[in-house]
Amino acid sequence: MGNDGGSIPTRRELVKESARAPSTAQLKETQREHLEHAWTNCPLSQKPLSRPVVSDSSGNLYNKDAILQFLLPGGEVEGICSKADCEEVLGGRVKSLRDVVEVHFEVDTERAGHPSDRALADRHGRSEGWICPATAKSLGPAVKSVYLVPCGHAFAEEAIRQLKGDKCLQCNEPYSEDNIITILPVKEEDKQRLIARGRKLAEQGLTHSLKKASSSKKRKKNATADLPDATATASSTPSSKSTQATNGSGNKSTPGDGIKNAATAKLTAKVLSEQDEKQKRRKMMGLGGTIDSLYTKEQKDGAKRNDFMTRGFSIPSSAKR
């Protein structure tokens, strides 16, 4: 009959199967999903990867503008609220632009409108495909990919292994075997190799990009000295003012004028302008005098003025004994 209150189901009747460890196929599928997400999204801003893309010493991929926002003093990266969260994601591997290398991917123009590429764009937002210029294979979670330091050109790992050269196939710049960086490594041996390479470079006073590392004393003296000439621009342009500074010759100087790399200068100027807009929006939201007026402030004579937040019952002087 049932539903008459005369039967109480036991656990054996409710739980038909016990919990089981995930199978090998399930683990591979989960790993593939994580790898596909890392190939298409920036872990800092949680936005789709779009060129320019940079990589740290562990082979992780980031949007360059997100790294610039993290390196700027007091900068916040869109997608992650606090700088501590960014530090946790980066794991202390990125302290300046010298600790990352810009990865140059070859764009697959012939497959721009292919159905599989459109499906990838629908899922992750990245609208372009990257291929190996030597083998024409799509670079992604299904193909083990590498890039070379210091030039940053990306290839399929099998192309580098089969050719066994010591110069880049695109720019003809020489490289060593230690400077072949696996993109988003999965195997433990590849991860350990990159960690050992980072330690070796640190002992030699070099960064991931094979440039000399800045000393800690210099970094403490100027917190933004790691950005190439970007700190001079940031300090000369107050964040509270959106107007452009004028130099001695009468010409207007824009953020990023001191940076030699044109692309980096343009990106730095964009990041600085976005931070200025954020500060303007905060002021417009009333985070200035409107809220400050609710709290106690000292007058010119040093006496405190009772206001809305501190006003309460006061005992008359005549009632005091």
User: Tokens at residue 127, please?
Assistant: 């609208």
Exposure pattern of 85-113 as b/e (b: 16+ CB <10 Å)? ebeebbeeebbbbbbbbbbbbbebeeeee
Q: Which residues pair with 143 in a beta bridge?
A: 140
Q: Is residue 44 over pLDDT 60?
A: yes
pLDDT number for residue 315 = 61
Q: Per-residue confidence at 3, pLDDT binned at 50, 70, 90?
A: low
Give the Cα separation of 146 and 154 in Å (integer): 6
Give buried/exposed letters for 260-274 (b at 16+ CB in 10 A, else e). Answer: eeeebbebbbebbee
pLDDT tens for 16-29 read: 776 778 888 888 88
Residue 303 pLDDT: 54
Rounded CA-CA distance 147/153 in Å is 5
Kindly report the pTM of this predicted structure: 0.64
Give, for 88, the enclosing helix (H) or strand (E). helix 83-90
Classify residue 206 by burial, with Cβ atoms within 10 Å: 0-12, 13-18, 19+. Answer: middle
Residue 258 DSSP SS3: coil
The yes-or-no verdict on residue 252 having pLDDT over 70 is no
Q: Which is it for the CA torsion 127, 26, 146, 268, positive or negative?
A: positive
The HSE-up count of residue 123 (CA atoms within 13 Å, CB side) is 11
pLDDT in tens, 158-168: 999 988 888 99
The pLDDT score that the predictor gives to residue 306 is 52
Would you state the structure tokens that stand for residue 163, as one six-digit string? 């050719």
The predicted pLDDT at position 285 comes to: 64
Closest CA to 207 of 101, 316, 82, 83: 101
**Which tens digits make up the pLDDT trace of 276-302?**
777 777 666 655 455 555 555 555 555
Is 270 or 48 the better-scoring residue by pLDDT? 48
DSSP annotation of 150? T
pLDDT in tens, 56-65: 999 999 999 9
Contacts of 214 (CB under 8 A, 6+ apart): 96, 98, 225, 226
